[in-house]
Structure 1
Amino acid sequence: MTRCATLTAGAWLGSLLPMALAHAAPAASTTNATKDGPKRVIVAGGALTEIVYALGAQSRVIANDLTSLYPEAASKLPKIGYLRTLSAEGVLSLHPDLLLAGAEAGPPNVLSQIEAAGVPVQHFRHGYTAELVRENIRGVANALKIGDDGTRVAARFTAEWMQVRDTVETRYGIARRPRVLFILGHTGNQVMVAGQDTAADAMLAYAGAENALRGFSGYRALSAEAAVAAQPDVLLTTTTGPSPVDPAASLLAQPGLANTPAGRAGRVVSFDALYLLGFGPRLPQAVADLAKRVHAV
Structure 2
Amino acid sequence: MSAIVKLRPGLTHPSTFMQLAAAALVFALLTANTAAWAEESRIVALGGSITEILYALGAQDRIVGVDSTSLAPPSALQEKPSVGYVRAISAEGVLSLKPTLVLAIEGAGPPAALELIRAAGAPLEIVPDAPTPEGIRRKIEILGETVGAKDAAAKLNREVGAGFAALEGLRARITKPVRALFVLSFANGRTLVGGRNTSAASMLALAGAVNAAEDVDGYKPMTDEAIASAAPDFVLMMKNGDHHVDAETVFASPAFALTPAARTRALLALDGLFLLGFGPRTPDAARELIEAFYPSLATAAP
Pair in the same fold by TM > 0.5: yes
The answer to whether 1:45 aligns with 2:58 is no
The structure-2 alpha-carbon separation of the partners of 1:98 and 1:197, relative to structure 1 and needing over 3 Å to count, comes to: same
Per-residue CA deviations over 1:196-223 (Å, capped at 9, x if unaligned) read 1011111111111111122231022122
Answer yes or no: is the 8 Å Cα contact 1:36–1:145 preserved in 2.
no
Query: What is the CA RMSD across the aligned residues, in angstroms?
Result: 2.1
- Give the residue type in structure 2 aligned to 1:45: G
Answer yes or no: is the 8 Å Cα contact 1:52–1:140 preserved in 2.
yes
- Give the residue type in structure 1 aligned to 2:290: A
- Give the residue type in structure 2 aligned to 1:208: G
Query: Please, which moves more after superposition, 271-280 or 110-119?
Result: 110-119
Per-residue CA deviations over 1:123-181 (Å, capped at 9, x if unaligned) read 112321011101110111111122222222222221222122223324x2xx2111111
Aligned to 2:208: 208
Alignment of 1:71-90 (within 5 A): 71-76=73-78, 77-90=80-93
- Give 1:117 deviation, angstroms: 2.0
The structure-2 alpha-carbon separation of the partners of 1:246 and 1:275, relative to structure 1 and needing over 3 Å to count, comes to: same
Query: Please, which moves more after superposition, 149-158 or 204-213?
Result: 149-158
The answer to whether 1:110 aligns with 2:113 is yes
CA distance in structure 2 between the partners assigned to 1:225 and 1:215 by the alignment: 13
The answer to whether 1:177 aligns with 2:177 is yes
- Give 1:109 deviation, angstroms: 2.8
The answer to whether 1:293 aligns with 2:292 is yes
Answer yes or no: is the 8 Å Cα contact 1:65–1:83 preserved in 2.
yes
Answer yes or no: is the 8 Å Cα contact 2:186–2:245 preserved in 1.
no
The structure-2 alpha-carbon separation of the partners of 1:54 and 1:245, relative to structure 1 and needing over 3 Å to count, comes to: closer
The runs of at least 4 aligned residues of structure 1 exceeding 4 Å deviation read 31-34, 243-246
Alignment of 1:68-217 (within 5 A): 68-76=70-78, 77-170=80-173, 172=174, 175-217=175-217
Query: Please, which moves more after superposition, 32-41 or 180-189?
Result: 32-41
Aligned length: 263
Aligned to 1:227: 227
SS state of the match for residue 70, structure 2? coil
Which runs of 5 or more residues in structure 1 are unaligned? 1-30
Q: Which has the higher helix share?
A: 2
SS state of the match for residue 289, structure 2? helix
In terms of Rg, which structure is larger? 2
Aligned to 2:14: none
CA distance in structure 2 between the partners assigned to 1:119 and 1:244 by the alignment: 34
Aligned to 1:278: 277
CA distance in structure 2 between the partners assigned to 1:124 and 1:93 by the alignment: 22
The one of the two structures with greater contact order (alpha-carbon pairs below 8 A, sep at least 6) is 1
Answer yes or no: is the 8 Å Cα contact 2:181–2:232 preserved in 1.
yes
CA distance in structure 2 between the partners assigned to 1:87 and 1:56 by the alignment: 26
SS state of the match for residue 83, structure 1? coil
Answer yes or no: is the 8 Å Cα contact 2:167–2:206 preserved in 1.
no
Which runs of 5 or more residues in structure 2 are unaligned? 1-31, 297-302
Per-residue CA deviations over 1:225-278 (Å, capped at 9, x if unaligned) read 11111111111111116x897521231233221111111221111111111111
Answer yes or no: is the 8 Å Cα contact 1:40–1:60 preserved in 2.
yes
Aligned to 1:57: 59
Structure 1 length-normalised TM: 0.82
Structure 2 length-normalised TM: 0.81
SS state of the match for residue 184, structure 1? strand
CA distance in structure 1 between the partners assigned to 2:77 and 2:293 by the alignment: 29
- Give the residue type in structure 2 aligned to 1:148: D
Aligned to 2:264: 265
CA distance in structure 2 between the partners assigned to 1:214 and 1:156 by the alignment: 31
- Give the residue type in structure 2 aligned to 1:188: N
Name the % identity.
37
SS state of the match for residue 91, structure 1? helix
CA distance in structure 2 between the partners assigned to 1:40 and 1:118 by the alignment: 14
CA distance in structure 2 between the partners assigned to 1:126 and 1:215 by the alignment: 24
Answer yes or no: is the 8 Å Cα contact 2:183–2:235 preserved in 1.
yes
